Amino acid sequence: MGAPGRLLILFGVVLVVLGLLFSFAGNIPWLGHLPGDIYIQRERFTFYFPLTTCLLLSLIITLVLYLFRR
């Protein structure tokens, strides 16, 4: 199998993982509410930045992609 075939398979796997993540994200209560996530609420202003959640998801995706390259 050539490089384009492997790349298409990798994109398919990534899309499936993202689809599962979006489907089940509401069922994971701690996702988006980890310590380190920035949440500021004022009278007419709300700012939310899930910093720790982004770092955790980036680490998981990096590990999965590393395992697929081997």
pLDDT tens sequence across 49-62: 989 989 998 998 89
What Rg, from alpha-carbon coordinates, does the chain have?
Answer: 16
Per DSSP (E only), the strands in the chain are 38-41, 46-49
What residue ranges do the domains of the chain occupy?
3-69
The pTM for the full model equals: 0.58
Question: Rounded to whole angstroms, how far apart are CA atoms 27 and 44?
Answer: 29
Q: What is the pLDDT of residue 5?
A: 84
How does the average pLDDT of the chain come out, rounded? Answer: 84
Percentage of the chain lying above the pLDDT 70 cut:
97
- Is the pLDDT assigned to residue 25 strictly greater than 80? no
At 42, phi and psi to the nearest 5? -120, -170
The tokens for 69 are 């390259």
Q: Binning pLDDT at 50, 70 and 90, where does residue 1 land? A: low
